[in-house]
A and B are shown apart, each in its own frame.
Chain A
Amino acid sequence: MKTGLLTVALVFALIAGVSAQPAETPRTGGVLRVATIGEPPTLDLHTTTAVIVQQVTWHVYETLFTYDRQYNAVPLLVDTHTVADSGRTYVFRLRRGVKFHNGKELSAADVVASLKRWGRLATPGKQFWKNVEGVEAKDPLTVALYLKEPSGAVLMGLARPNNGAAIYPKEIVDAAGDNPVKEYVGTGPYRFVEHKPDRHVRLARFKDYAPRTDTSDGFGGRRTAYVDEILFIPVPDVAVRLAGVETGEYHLALQIQQDQYERMKTMSGVVPGLIKPEGWSTAVLNHKQGLMTDKRIRQAFQAALDMEPIMAAGFGNKAFYRLDPGLSFPEQPQWHSRAGADLYNQKNPAKARKLLADAGYGGQPVRWITTKEYQWMYKNALVAKQQLEAAGFKVDLQVVDWATLVQRRNKPEAWDVFSTGITFNPEPAFSTATNCNWPGWWCHEDKEQWLDSLARETDPRKRRAMWEKVQQIFYDDVGRVKFGDYFGLDAVRKELHGYRPTNEKNLWNVWLSR
């Protein structure tokens, strides 16, 4: 009897052991090769909203907070924090023993210097800093942030990865001032090794990384660097990018054209990674200089467009786009609204023509800069151009590479419209889509007031109402022109495990099986 039971127990143990077999045990080692859309214009996260920069550098830098799976703010470099003075004072206690890549230990002085620089240089940073009275280091591990008014968006603002409040060593911040930093040193699980322009950006595991101990949830919690090195390789040609994953050349290829989805499903060894939503496609209008300063011309632009063919041309497969007027996505019910929907997707060239006549439009070419590096931007612009010209516009479509577009859009005299995508952002208060300082320079008194209130308000329902007001003004004043929501597609090798397709693309906690 006893031996019988023992045998059964043994068998069970064996079965349990076998079924717990590591199909999913992370393996350390290997070089992860990631094919990106092109060269990052810089590696200084404070200075640009270009998504490619964040996707590369946030393995190197860390912020005080980050997002969990639900896109709530959770602490990263912060250990605990307290809120005092009815929401006007935040006191952050930093984690002990966090090391920078140059060996220095993280201290409050580094945080203060970095936050100040972020508040000066970064688009969301400047917005955030409008409400900041001051920031200081109370002791080597404590930072106090004093606000002018209470705000519901502080932690989210500090957690934002794109153009985020990365913490650099104080010495590097001081040395750079307002110029781009010369060294790329952070506290992240990977450290910067080298950047060979047009070849790769190479990151290597940081041996002295101090991970959090809580379980990983979204981007929060424990971050483990399984792979030895990460290579970000610029491959501007999307055909080559995808083909490279098919043959195993790359483990991950970003921004694959959506109409390749069906084909990708048939490729052995390749897993399509859907990012829903990724962002919304838009034409940014120049409110500072040029044709688009005239509201009637803007309204004509908005009226003439038929969004369905524009989006269909850009994204192909219907599963990858959606027409929706919201500045936020239906996936965010707490923010999504249909305010201004009657001005979205008007398909009314007659109205456009009349508006152009009223404005006295004399046929001057509308200078529209776009790029083929994001294929859909080019196609959206191409179809929109055809529709606009049918409504009486003359459009000069200039196709450049993304790095040039990002630089040129800073010069108000150089363009009237440029193409871009507004990526998914969980916190509307810092959205670039509505920001006055961001290229496009859409500044509207009422809108600025609503945005300021939004940043300060803590009641979620009141915040939502404010955001709706902003959205209405977005359509009435034609801040930008939204084409539609789009979902992203990455190509993932099956040897890459643990990868969760998101906009931000985190490559910690992933491992290679081969």
Chain B
Amino acid sequence: MKTYIARRLAALLPVALVVATVAFILIHIAPGDPAAIIAGPDANAEDVARIQRQLGLDAPFHVQLFRWYGRLARGDLGQSIFLRRPVLEAIVDRAEPTILLTLYALLVAVALGVPAGVVAARHHDGAADQMLMAGALAGISIPNFLLGLLLILFFSVWLGWFPVAGYSPLEYGWFGTLRSLTLPAFALGVVQSALIARIARSAMLDVLREQFIVAGRAKGLAERAIVYKHALKNAMIPTVTVIGISLAILISGSVIVEQVFNIPGLGRLIISAVLRRDYPVIQGVVICIAGIYMLVNLAVDLSYVLFDPRVRYH
């Protein structure tokens, strides 16, 4: 098992390298001189030249690339042009709402999706199955920002149960935070739950057809025991995989939903950075998010050890 973990970690390295390289390239495929972009729209020719020297942008490409790797390894993500502070600081500042929103949305997605998928599988081809799957299909067809707008209309403007926008930081009390994140979490989570439901259902169906299930039935085990003890555990692998993928999609989605609900998280940070061409921030945010995603995937991979004993001896 230790070798399994070690191997998974080692496999991350080349991926991390590619991620860092892609982030580096972003500023170089933009039209215009990278130094002029970093100096900002307000700078004159001498400022641009100074930035060029300071950041070593006059060095050859591969030299710059290696220096970039070095900076990343030290955790230096550069300086934001518009915010005039280190990018890492700006990210850490904004991380709280995005992390909370993503976790909340994941909770919603799993709480809605997994039971729906399991129930649908259990009543395969019955009325419940058809309805749930139709609902799921509708769920993945609605963009999360559209759902967000509709939720605002119903629950904030008409019913007044939730704030229409904004974020209440944790320091002001967790209840306020939960309340301000509920509609965005549902806008994100409902769409994702549909996906999870579909995968959970098909995974369950696969497993239910397996030999050992048939054998269990033949042995006279109770239906409930079969479904929940044996089948579910085996269906967890693809389900956990999709939950891991869901996290990536949710982080993506939170970018959009944060705009709809005016939540000052990483999503708003990257959007305003894009509109202002604040490249250091864009690069920093994509690296952080990709990094989080890689770690989540690693965690998912490692979790297989819990669900599938065969993995240990792979």
Contact = CB atoms under 8 A, between A and B. Distances in A.
Co-assembled chains A and B: yes
B93 A247 contact: no
Contacts of A401: 272, 275-276
| Secondary structure type dominating chain B contacts | loop
B15 interface: no
Contact of B164 (A243, A403, A411, A414): A243
Interface residues of B, number: 24
B83 A197 contact: yes
Contact of A400 (B93, B268, B275): B275
B275 A246 contact: no
Interface string B247-281: 00000000000010110100011001001110000
B272 A243 contact: no
Contacts of B83: 197-198
A246 B164 contact: yes
A404 B164 contact: no
Contacts of B276: 401, 403-404
Interface string A188-205: 000000001111000000
Contact of A404 (B41, B264, B269): B41
A199 B276 CA distance: 16
A240 B272 contact: no
B166 interface: yes
B186 to A, nearest CB: 17
Interface stretch (B155-163, B190-198, B300-308): B155-163
A243 B157 contact: yes
A291 B156 CA distance: 49
Contact of B156 (A197, A235, A247, A410): A247
A199 B97 CA distance: 12
Contact of A198 (B41, B160, B264): B264
A196 B160 CA distance: 29
A244 B164 contact: yes
Interface string B27-57: 0000000000000111000000000000000
Nearest to A199: B264
A235 B262 contact: yes
A498 to B, nearest CB: 25
A249 B164 contact: yes
Nearest to B276: A404
A247 B163 contact: yes
B82 interface: yes
Nearest to A400: B275
B164 A240 contact: yes
Given A249-B166, A410-B42, A243 B82 contact: no
Interface string B274-307: 0111000000000000000000000000000000
A246 B158 CA distance: 11
A400 B278 CA distance: 13
Contacts of A196: 93
B165 interface: yes
A408 interface: yes
Interface in A163-211: 196-199
Interface string A395-433: 000001101100110110010000000000000000000
Contacts of A247: 156, 160, 163-164
A481 to B, nearest CB: 24
B160 to A, nearest CB: 7
B40 A407 contact: yes
A237 interface: yes
A246 B157 contact: yes
A237 B264 CA distance: 13
B262 A411 contact: no
A198 B271 CA distance: 12
A408 B275 CA distance: 13
B40 A243 contact: no
Interface in B154-198: 156-157, 160, 163-166
Nearest to B273: A198
Contacts of B203: none
Interface in B70-101: 82-83, 93
B152 interface: yes
Contacts of A244: 163-166, 262
Nearest to B152: A243
A400 B268 CA distance: 16
A243 B41 contact: no
Contacts of B40: 407
A200 to B, nearest CB: 9
B164 A408 contact: no
Nearest to B90: A197
Contacts of B275: 400-401, 404
Given A247-B163, A400-B275, A240 B262 contact: yes
A403 to B, nearest CB: 7
Given A197-B82, A404-B277, 10 more contacts: A198-B83, A198-B264, A198-B272, A235-B165, A243-B156, A243-B157, A246-B157, A247-B164, A401-B272, A411-B41
18 contacts: A196-B93, A197-B82, A197-B83, A198-B83, A198-B268, A199-B93, A237-B259, A237-B262, A240-B165, A240-B262, A243-B156, A246-B164, A401-B272, A403-B276, A404-B41, A404-B276, A407-B42, A410-B42
